[in-house]
């Protein structure tokens, strides 16, 4: 059974700081997705990465996929209060099902 | 495009009653929908896969007689929590599958008193 670990579990920072969160898998990802979920809402897909070594940018967010396709990182530059939420990684290749990490809960304080 | 809605967004009920939650794909058809449960500050836990025109597939440990799923059309799946108890209080989220992507609804907060 594939296990996804996310770290840190909780993170509280000040507005303007940079941060990186991580997602590590016990086995190779089929494809990796990152989601952000705001309190009381459903998750929203941020990005899908498939190729080892791939880097994708979404405004202030940079996503890296490890060469071996077993790990990924999400870096946020100059965090803003609107970035607050639960960041979830998931493996999207399991017969339409998603295998979820436990999430990183981020709080960006004004 | 790819908008999923849930109704109600929030429900409070008495112990022993049944509650129905609707999940609709508003601008696309979905043969497969998923139902999740989530506790505060935790990840999503898959409860079942809802297949249009056939029986739902439940994950291990999820009681199918407790959580009834009906996927009657290509745009609607319903989850009924039967004889709800306080331990069923949670955030329930659905998703609809389209083109290798799950699109999530906004969730339903259930509180059983």
Residue B52: pLDDT over 90: no
pLDDT in the model for residue A95: 73
Q: Which of A22, A20, A21, A24 is nearest to A4 (CA)?
A: A24
Question: Which of B35, B102, B105 is best to mutate for the A interface (most A CBs within 10 A)?
Answer: B102
Which residue of chain B comes nearest to A105, CA vs CA? B41
Contact A35, A91 (CB under 8 A): no
Question: Which of A42, A49, A86 is best to mutate for the B interface (most B CBs within 10 A)?
Answer: A42
Could you read off the pLDDT of A40-94 as tens digits, one per residue? 999 999 999 999 999 999 999 999 999 999 999 999 999 999 999 999 999 987 7
d(CA A20, CA A7): 9
pLDDT level of residue A11 (50, 70, 90 thresholds): very high
Contact list in B for residue A98 (CB cut-off 8 A) is 44, 46, 102
Which residue of chain A comes nearest to B45, CA vs CA? A100
Beta strand extents in B31-100 (DSSP E only): 32-38, 44-51, 57-58, 67-73, 76-81, 90-98
A42–B104: do the CB atoms touch at under 8 Å? yes
Three-state DSSP state, A82:
helix
d(CA A85, CA A106): 5
Could you read off the pLDDT of B1-51 as tens digits, one per residue? 789 999 999 999 999 999 999 999 999 999 899 999 999 888 999 999 998
Alpha carbons within 13 A on the beta-carbon side of A41: 13
Tokens of A108: 């960006």
Of B6, B46, B104, the CB nearest to A43: B104
Q: What b/e sequence results for A81-105 when a residue is b if at least 16 CB atoms lie within 10 Å of its CB, and e otherwise?
A: eebbbbbbbbbbbeeebbbbbbbbb
B93–A102: do the CB atoms touch at under 8 Å? no
Q: How far is CA A65 from CA A18, A30, A32, A72, B40, in A?
A: 19, 12, 8, 4, 28
Q: Is B14 exposed, middle or buried (0-12, 13-18, 19+ CB in 10 A)?
A: exposed
H or E segment at B108? Answer: strand B108-112
B104–A105: do the CB atoms touch at under 8 Å? no
Residue B96: pLDDT over 90: yes
């Amino acid at each position: 059974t594939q296990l996804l670990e996310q770290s840190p579990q909780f993170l509280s920072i000040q507005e303007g700081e940079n941060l990186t969160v991580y997602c590590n898998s016990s086995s190779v990802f089929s494809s990796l997705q990152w989601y952000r979920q705001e309190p009381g809402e459903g998750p929203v897909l941020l990005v899908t990465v498939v190729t080892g070594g791939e880097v994708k940018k979404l405004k202030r967010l940079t996503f890296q996929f490890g060469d071996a396709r077993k790990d990924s990182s999400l870096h946020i530059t100059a965090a803003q209060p609107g970035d607050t939420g639960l960041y979830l990684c998931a493996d999207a290749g399991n017969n339409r099902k998603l295998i979820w990490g436990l999430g990183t809960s981020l709080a960006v304080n004004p | 495009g790819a908008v999923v809605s849930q109704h109600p967004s929030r429900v409070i009920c008495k112990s022993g009653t049944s509650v129905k939650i609707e999940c609709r794909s508003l601008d696309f058809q979905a043969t497969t929908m998923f139902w999740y449960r989530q506790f505060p500050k935790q990840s999503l836990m898959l409860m079942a896969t809802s297949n249009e025109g056939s029986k739902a597939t439940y994950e291990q440990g999820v009681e199918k007689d407790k959580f009834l799923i009906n996927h009657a059309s290509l745009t609607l799946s319903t989850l009924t929590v039967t004889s709800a108890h306080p331990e069923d209080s949670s955030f329930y989220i659905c998703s609809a599958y389209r083109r290798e992507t799950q699109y999530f609804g906004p969730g339903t907060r259930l509180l059983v008193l």
